[in-house]
Amino acid sequence: MALSVIVLAAGQGTRMNSTKPKVLQQLAGKPLLHHVLLTAQQLVPEQILVVCGYRGEELQKACQEFKVDWVWQTEQRGTGHAVQVAYPDIVANNRVLVLYGDVPLISTATLKNFINSTPADALGILTAQVAKPQGLGRIIRDSNNKVIHIIEHKDASPEQQQITEINTGIYLIPQRHLAAWLANLKPQNSQQEYYLTDIIALAVNDKVAISDCSIADEIEITGVNSQQQLAMLERQYQLTLAQQLLEHGVKVYDPNRLDIRGVVNAGKDCSIDVNVVFEGTVVLGDNVQIGANVFLKDCVVESDAVILPFSMLDNVVVGIGAQVGPFARLRPGTRLHAQTKVGNFVEIKNSNIGVGTKVNHLSYIGDAQLGSSVNIGAGVITCNYDGAHKHQTIIEDEVFIGSNCELIAPVRVGKGATLAAGTTLLKDAPPGGLTLTKKMLTSILDWRRPTKAKASQTGEK
């Protein structure tokens, strides 16, 4: 039997106290809804229907990369009502897996196991034992331990509130039973909503088997209803990601002070100091060292490279054995070849830095091609922008550029050339020789530095 997935995502999420729709709040750098859709895709279903309502256009825009069909629930009258509006679009005789847009970390493995363990004609329900069941629907069983009902926290008696087995909100429903059950939902509860949970009792009434499957890992079924819950889930999730790196052999100085908002692939013997943030896809070779407070987004850092503290790298390739920072800012399109050195307060963008080249202090290098074994002195600036266009600077192998030079692009410095300190390079420098701006240096010998007059001399008190 083919699978249809319905993701419920129409609610506003009032308890978040935010103007953003709840399912667009970010967990580990991705909207909650993206986590759920990525997992749903892994199941290769025949269709994915997403129920949207509150700021639905924003949801659709934020999920353009996903192949899903959108269903509008203009008025949010409960989880049962959300499935009612999706019902006409469900392929006949499929199995219908219901997921919630605000339960982001449910895993593909858990769902596959749930689907495989649920008989084709049964109503499957995913449950969990939790320490703090407050606010969640409770599982009611009969004397034979069969699930017969779900009662929401708000509707539960004090005895029922003691139950620690909860409804994760994830069900597998045979489509052919669904129409009748949905038609029988009644908003007779404290919230006056159409609860999807009521289909359990309806299935029992129709003598359809209920197949319950329990999940142990609480992180997978944690729903996000408040900023507190989101922050706690973020920390728990980050800890599991840090643990994966530790298991892989990476030295993580403090697993509680690392943030991975994307994917990190690390080789052998890498180390990551505290407060490092990774975004997008980051690949580390072997024996890479990342210092404290480093931010890396979409980078490749090759083996034996060292990134010293407080450096920020975005879309950068760092070559073998290179050293970056502290306090370096490397912007998109920067390629550092092997054994390069980029030091403090250096900004580089869209540039190639050749093998063994050093840019050690206080420089701006933009739209430049630097050869190998070049030395860039302190305070060197490539003036790449004329107010309208960007221009290239080419610096050939073994060039030495003295401190505080300005290179007015487009300009080329020939192989082995030397620029004296303070040169403003307005045209190409030939290879080999010394290029300098001739300035007159004068000393005025009878000059006196101004001094402050003493109070006693001016009569001031």
Residue sitting closest to ligand UD1 (CB): 137
Residue 124 or residue 137: which is nearer to ligand UD1 going by CB?
Answer: 137
Q: Tell me the C-alpha distance between 240 and 262, whole Å.
A: 13
Q: Are strands 138-141 and 147-151 parallel, antiparallel or unpaired?
A: antiparallel
Residue 166 or residue 308: which is nearer to Ca ion going by CB?
Answer: 166
Residue in the block written with tokens 């975005």: 314
Is residue 223 close enough to count as binding Ca ion by CB under 5 A? yes
Separation in Å, CA 459 to CA 450, 451, 454, 456 = 20, 17, 9, 5
Is residue 11 close enough to count as binding ligand UD1 by CB under 6 A? yes
Q: In the complex, what is the shortest distance from the CB of residue 195 to ligand UD1, in angstroms, rounded to a whole number?
A: 4
Q: In the complex, what is the shortest distance from the CB of residue 37 to ligand UD1, in angstroms, rounded to a whole number?
A: 13
Residues numbered 384 to 413 that lie near ligand UD1 (CB under 6 A) are none
Angle at CA of residue 412, ends 408 and 416, nearest 5°: 125
Residue in the block written with tokens 């629930």: 73
Residue 79 or residue 311: which is nearer to ligand UD1 going by CB?
Answer: 79
Is residue 284 close enough to count as binding ligand UD1 by CB under 6 A? no
Q: How many CA atoms lie within 13 A of 265 on its CB side?
A: 8
Binding part of the chain for ligand UD1, among 2-10, 114-122, 203-211, 312-320 by CB under 6 A, reads 2-10
| Binds ligand UD1 (CB under 6 A): choice among 59, 82, 125, 328 | 82
Q: Decide: 413 and 397 in contact? Cβ < 8 Å.
A: no
Choose from Ca ion, ligand UD1, none: what does 79 bind? Cβ within 5-8 Å by kind: ligand UD1
Q: In the complex, what is the shortest distance from the CB of residue 261 to ligand UD1, in angstroms, rounded to a whole number?
A: 22
Structure tokens at 321: 């054995």
| Binds ligand UD1 (CB under 6 A): choice among 114, 171, 195, 237 | 195
Residues written for the chain: 461
295: phi then psi, degrees, rounded to nearest 5: -115, 120
CA dihedral 196, 183, 207, 110 (to 10 degrees): -30
Catalytic site residue 361? yes
Residue 100 or residue 364: which is nearer to ligand UD1 going by CB?
Answer: 100
Residue 197 or residue 363: which is nearer to ligand UD1 going by CB?
Answer: 197
Residue 197 or residue 311: which is nearer to ligand UD1 going by CB?
Answer: 197
Is residue 226 close enough to count as binding ligand UD1 by CB under 6 A? no
Separation in Å, CA 198 to CA 34, 163, 201, 296 = 28, 18, 6, 48
Choose from ligand UD1, Ca ion, none: what does 76 bind? Cβ within 5-8 Å by kind: ligand UD1
Of residues 129, 143, 147, the one with CA closest to residue 202: 147
Is residue 220 close enough to count as binding ligand UD1 by CB under 6 A? no
Burial class (CB within 10 angstroms; exposed 0-12, middle 13-18, buried 19+) of 455: exposed
Residues numbered 157 to 186 that lie near ligand UD1 (CB under 6 A) are 166-169
Choose from Ca ion, ligand UD1, none: what does 396 bind? Cβ within 5-8 Å by kind: none
Is residue 114 close enough to count as binding ligand UD1 by CB under 6 A? no
366: phi then psi, degrees, rounded to nearest 5: -130, 140
Q: In the complex, what is the shortest distance from the CB of residue 168 to Ca ion, in angstroms, rounded to a whole number?
A: 10
- Angle, helices 108-117 vs 32-42, to 10°: value is 50
Of residues 259, 9, 223, 16, the one with CA closest to residue 105: 223
Structure tokens at 183: 């038609």
Is residue 133 close enough to count as binding Ca ion by CB under 5 A? no
Residue in the block written with tokens 């307005």: 426
Is residue 137 close enough to count as binding Ca ion by CB under 5 A? no
Is residue 244 close enough to count as binding ligand UD1 by CB under 6 A? no
Q: Which of 153, 177, 248, 361 is catalytic?
A: 361
Q: In the complex, what is the shortest distance from the CB of residue 12 to Ca ion, in angstroms, rounded to a whole number?
A: 12
Residue 55 or residue 412: which is nearer to ligand UD1 going by CB?
Answer: 55
Is residue 100 close enough to count as binding ligand UD1 by CB under 6 A? yes
Q: Are strands 123-129 and 165-174 parallel, antiparallel or unpaired?
A: antiparallel
Binding part of the chain for ligand UD1, among 74-82, 245-253, 263-271, 399-407 by CB under 6 A, reads 74-82
78: phi then psi, degrees, rounded to nearest 5: 120, 165
Residues numbered 75 to 114 that lie near Ca ion (CB under 5 A) are 102
Q: Decide: 418 and 403 in contact? Cβ < 8 Å.
A: no
Contacts to ligand UD1 by CB under 6 A: 8-11, 51, 73, 76-79, 81-82, 100-103, 136-137, 150, 152, 166-169, 195-197, 223, 225
> Residues with catalytic annotation?
361
